[in-house]
Structure 1
Amino acid sequence: MTELLKASEMRALERAAIESGAVTGLELMERAGQGVVAAIFETWPELDGAKSERGAGPSRSPEYLEREEGGRRALVLCGPGNNGGDGFVVARLLRERGWRVDVFLLGDPEKLPPDAQANCQRWLAMGEVRTWDVGDIRAFYCGNEADQFVIVDALFGTGLTRPLSGDDFETLFHTFMPDAIRGNNPHRRSDKFVAIDVPSGMDSDSGRNFGGFPAHLTVTFHRAKIGHYMADECLPYGGAAGCGDVVVADIGLDEALARLPAEVRNPNGSGVCRLVGAPRKAQLDKTAASHKFSHGHALVLSGGPGRTGAARLAARAALRVGAGLVTLGVPPAAMQEVAAQVTAIMQKPVRDAAALADVLGDRRITALCLGPGLGTGSREADLVDTAVRGDHAPYGVVLDADALTLVAGDRELFGALHPRCVLTPHGGEFARLFPEIHAKFVAPAERGPAYPKVDATRDAAARAGCVVLFKGPDTVIAAPDGQVAVHAAVHDRAAPWLATAGAGDVLAGLIAGLMARGLAPMEAAEAGAWLHVECARAFGPGLIAEDLPEMLPQVLRQLGA
């Protein structure tokens, strides 16, 4: 399991480890700086002159290396807290490798926290600390030529809880640095921006951008933070978009915490936020002795004539993901249209809610998907009511698209949702279902930590009493018991071509098919989200929704299923 932490959770773990006597704050700071330097050279090995064919003997002084390295330079911007202390370690280690390093400190060296102050003194033994002045920083940066220039953002990290303010910060963060990262600054087209923990100006809990500048590489410690995988739709360079590549450096906390009680190591228990990974092979295996009904029967309700395509996409996905049998419940007037388009998928006439109740009398039905292309009239409202309230076998219910609109408009129906339901809203549907939660989620964040999507989805699941999958490039899935997981199509799992009509219908069908096979709602939602993105990545650009189910055999083979 890959955990994602909030800033407060990370601070609590560090404090517990230090108070236990297993490690000191100074040791953690040294390991953090080592992790940043290692990540820089792993990401850009061409910068590591110490690994060149010349070798690096112990007798070679930093001054000798500095001349030999061709003027490679680092600019380290240190803040007034422990993030700045990490920066001083990075500066010292780069200097020891022969780099020319310049350090600017925001604040008074005498007011630094003890560990940061100790590392400031270590740096002062080999270099100077320049007084913070944005004009001087800009003149220094633009006026120097070097083979490579690395800018290390060690200003605030996870410690910033408010927007950056002042004309100087406006100049530095909003104009100068972002231009360089976009390649628009003629002075520095190939320079590297490295953030320690999170880019300063980004809220590590939510990914909200308070006005900071982005990085090519973000190095964080022990565990990734939730904000590294989130999206900020309000400002550029928030969340994942502002972090660049994210590297998690081991600073020995697991070892230091190993002897402490479980509640100290994991204060949230089952409520810890997880990063969704590939489903386990055992979840998707079929046995040789099985037959179709042992792998479940999924029922997908269709819209009327001319509106059957979305349901057919969902049904195809449910069949491809391994449901033993998939049936489309179709209004009689649309049955001929559907029959011309499907083969292995069966269909039954569903004229109204009474007909649906009859169909659901088949106790072999183990999952129901409704909403894609369904419609929002009175007939459809009755269908949703029957599906959710019906006294039938304990099948799972996936509610998507039009079904979500109908549930949002009927508070009594909303109150009938139960733990076997999965809601799959996008942003607009989420706002209709959970207006108070959504208003809090999208409210401008004047101070941090901002209200993150993780908390919004967890609160929504508790309110609805069922699993909620809040869609987006930073999909969050939560259960009413507090479980929460992030599935983000970002960084190395980015799949921008997934933004295509009908892709959400396929996701609903995947979840329904997995629930039909016996996966619990939370488990099915997580596996469905992962498979959805993996199919898109396997296909690549040019993807349309119809392609997604057809990529499942390839993806499942790669999983060994």
Structure 2
Amino acid sequence: MTELLTAAQMRAIEKAAIDSGKVTGLELMEWAGRGVVEAIFEEWPELGKRGSSPSRSREYLEKDEEGFRAVVLCGPGNNGGDGFVVARLLRERGWAVEVFLYGDPEKLPPDARVNYERWVEMGEILPLPEGTWSPHCDLHIDALFGTGLTREIPKAISYSLSYLHKHHAHFVAVAVDTPSGLCADSGRALGVSGKADLTVTFHRSKVGHYLSEGPTRSGKIAVKDIGLPVPAFKDEAELLAWVNNPKRKRPSAEELKAETDRLASEHKAVVRLVAVPATGPWAKIRKGNAGHKYAHGHALILSGGSGKTGAARLAARGALRIGAGLVTLGVPPSAQMEVAEQITALMLRRVENGDGLAEVLKDERLNALCLGPGLGVERARELVPVVLRAGRAAVLDADALSAFADAPDQLFGMLHETSVLTPHGGEFARLFPDIADKLNETPTKGPAYSKVDATLEAARRAGCVVLFKGPDTVIAAPDGRCSINSAHYERAAPWLATAGSGDVLAGFITGLLARGIAPMQAAETAAWLHVECAREFGPGLIAEDLPEQLPAVFRKQGL
């Protein structure tokens, strides 16, 4: 797991480092600028070779004796200060650099002002043009507005910024921290937002890089170290304790109180990016099939009627492949022959109605259940209460969620801490309409309400783990734990958007629950494996292929 930061958390970490006396704001700005230049040459080595032409440079551009050309757009805050450092470093490498400033230089923050004056000694600073324009350059640096943006991009420059990023096919575009106009906490555009080929951020990636429009507007993410400490936070309380450590230098008691109050009001939960599954689940998976099959759990997947059993069979196959010792399909009489003809390693039990399910659940070895895929709304209304009364680990997906769209509180009253809900956007809106409305509002100021905020609120309301599906899948628990499983950047798997893939994911979670893995870890691990299986297979994937990739994925993880 890798912690992602909100804008407020990043500011607090920087301030704590500066207050400790170990680093100055000017030093942080210098390292940030150097990190941007370093990332550019790592991504496009040809830009570091004098006389060569970048892969996206204007073909008609005539090089002058200074070689490459860069345009740097600087804003009125410290993001603009980073831009001045970048401009200076590129000029020192022999580049021709044009610098444009939006705002009054007399109002720049102190550190940004120092770097403004350093650049003035080297070159001219022009006011940012308004309206449509397209500079002739090889490299375009967006250092207008970074993580500190809390309002819409001013209209005076929005048209210019929009035009630039619509017509940048002949130069490479690099954003400092975030493309201007993108909310660092939500990944949502505050009015017009820029678009980059590469976004260089510092210390840690920001939550917004992985949500909503963040991945498509950020291009590729490069994280650069600027000399800040890298603690691992277990929760928000630990983060606040670190920031407010009384041993750290503080200017005054009043400022310390103000900082504590601000943190309490601004800080959101610590969000983690699901990168490599936790060691706990991995250790349980590593046991393989050693020992008796019942030692690895027995999952029950409930199916719909005749002609509607495919989704449940996909979920069951996923549960079996991921390591459940036994998997049984519970089917109504009308579907028994259909299912029997389709399965081998899976088992079959007749489950006609709620009474029949209650009878089956007398077998206490059935320790994890999945219901929803292909179940049918009417059948779900009858069976969901029986499952939840049994108090066993349960994954509710698809029809099991839609069945309570007209009475979500009825469902929430039955859920327990070992339940997992796996809604897609439509199902989420039906269960949590007020939360969905907030998420769908057009943001005008930041930090904007995000998918992380929405999923955390939903998990608290439901009292169980909620996995809000999408390429930016967010997983949250009622206690405030939250993670993002991103299928973007180097983990992009667009072919995962295929019928039945969500059913397989539900089966993966159920199989891990059967193995005794806690709901939050089961959801995180299953979501990570789901994407890895898609990447292992590649284009042409259909849902049936996903479970069959697990052995190869496990081998790559040394299991």
Q: Using structure 2 for the length normalisation, give the TM-score.
A: 0.89
* One-letter amino acid matched to 1:94: L
Q: 2:222 maps to which residue?
A: 247
Residue 383 (1) aligns with residue 383 (2):
yes
Determine whether 1:173 maps to 2:161: yes
Match of 1:503 among 496, 501, 504: 501
Superimposed CA distance per residue, residues 512-546 of structure 1 (whole angstroms, 9 cap, x where no aligned partner):
00110111000000000001111111111111111
Counterpart secondary structure, 1:9: helix
Give the letter for the 2:397 counterpart. Answer: D
User: Which string of whole-angstrom CA distances, capped at 9 and with x for unpartnered residues, describes residues 184-208 of structure 1?
Assistant: xxxxx2x110000000011111111
Q: Kindly state the Cα deviation for residue 549 of structure 1 after the two structures are TM-superposed.
A: 0.8
- Check conservation: 1:270, 1:482, Cα contact below 8 A: no
Corresponding residue of 1:429: 427
Which residue of 1 is the match for residue 283 of structure 2?
282
Between the aligned partners of 2:11 and 2:523, the Cα distance in structure 1 is 31
Change (3 A) 1:89 1:292: same
Is the deviation greater in 280-289 or in 449-458? 280-289
The residue aligned with 2:240 is 263
Deviates more, 1:501-510 or 1:281-290: 281-290
**Distance in 1 of aligned mates of 2:159 and 2:401:** 45
RMSD of Structure 2 on Structure 1 (CA): 2.1
In structure 2, do the counterparts of structure 1 residues 22 and 387 end up closer, same or farther at CA, with 3 Å as the change threshold?
same
Is the contact made by 2:177 and 2:199 (CA closer than 8 Å) also made in structure 1? yes
Counterpart Cα distance in 2 of 1:419 and 1:256: 30
Deviates more, 1:462-471 or 1:439-448: 439-448
**What secondary structure, in the 3-state scheme, does the structure 1 residue paired with 2:330 have?**
strand
Compute the TM-score of the two structures, normalised by the length of structure 1: 0.89
Paired letter, 1:138: W
How far has the Cα of 1:68 moved from its partner? 5.7
- Residue 172 of structure 1 aligns to which amino acid in structure 2? S
The match for 1:4 is 4
Q: Does 1:204 align with 2:184?
A: yes
Query: Where do 5+ consecutive residues of structure 1 fail to align?
Result: 53-65, 184-188, 232-237
Distance 1:50 1:295, change over 3 A: farther
Q: Distance in 1 between matches of 2:194 and 2:269?
A: 32
Distance 1:77 1:257, change over 3 A: farther
Residues in 1 aligned to 2:495 and 2:47: alpha-carbon distance in whole angstroms: 34
- 2:37 matched to 1:37? yes
From 516, 519, 525, the counterpart of 2:517: 519
% identity of equivalent residues: 60
SS of residue matched to 2:133: helix
Q: Which residue of the other structure, out of 387, 391, 395, is the alignment partner of 2:392?
A: 395
Task: Judge which range, 80-89 or 439-448, deviates more.
Answer: 439-448
Equivalent of 2:139 in 150, 153, 156: 150
Contact 2:3/2:232 (<8 A) preserved: no
Alignment of 1:42-441 (within 5 A): 42-49=42-49, 71-134=67-130, 138=133, 141=135, 144=136, 149-166=138-155, 168-174=156-162, 176-181=163-168, 183=169, 189=170, 191-210=171-190, 211-231=192-212, 238-254=213-229, 263-265=240-242, 271-279=269-277, 280=279, 281-286=282-287, 289-377=290-378, 379-390=379-390, 395-410=392-407, 411-441=409-439
Q: Deviations over 1:281-318 (max 9, x none)?
A: 42421167412111110000000000000000000000
- Equivalent pair of 2:289/2:323 in contact (CA under 8 Å): no
Query: In the alignment, which residue of structure 2 is the partner of 1:63?
Result: none
Structure 2: gaps of 5 or more residues: 53-62, 244-262
CA contact (8 A) 1:270 1:483 kept: no
Name the aligned partner's letter for residue 203 of structure 1.
Answer: C
Aligned to 1:58: none
Q: Aligned partners of 2:71 and 2:38: how far apart in 1? A: 17
- Inter-partner Cα distance in structure 2 for 1:254 and 1:364: 48
Higher mean displacement: 493-502 or 156-165: 156-165
| CA 1:329–1:113: 2 relative to 1, 3 Å | same
Looking at structure 2, the residues matched to 17 and 278 of structure 1 have their Cα atoms a distance apart, in angstroms, of 29
Structure 2 vs 1, CA of residues 179 and 488 (structure 1 numbering), >3 Å: closer, same or farther? same
> Could you say which residue in structure 1 is the equivalent of 2:25?
25
CA distance in structure 2 between the aligned counterparts of 1:438 and 1:461, rounded to whole angstroms: 13
- CA 1:255–1:380 in 2, change beyond 3 Å: closer, same or farther? closer
Question: Given that residues 288 and 323 in structure 2 are in contact (C-alpha distance below 8 angstroms), is that contact kept between their aligned partners in structure 1?
Answer: no
CA 1:262 to 1:457, structure 2 compared with 1: closer, same or farther past 3 Å? closer
Mean Cα displacement is larger for which, 442-451 or 463-472? Answer: 442-451
Letter in 2 for 1:395: R
- Cα distance in 2 for partners of 1:165, 1:355 equals 63
Q: Given that residues 372 and 399 in structure 2 are in contact (C-alpha distance below 8 angstroms), is that contact kept between their aligned partners in structure 1?
A: yes
- Residue type of the partner of 1:36? V
Partner of 2:478: 480
CA 1:270–1:350: 2 relative to 1, 3 Å: farther
**Count, aligned residues:** 519
Q: Contact 1:17–1:257 at 8 Å: present in 2 too?
A: no
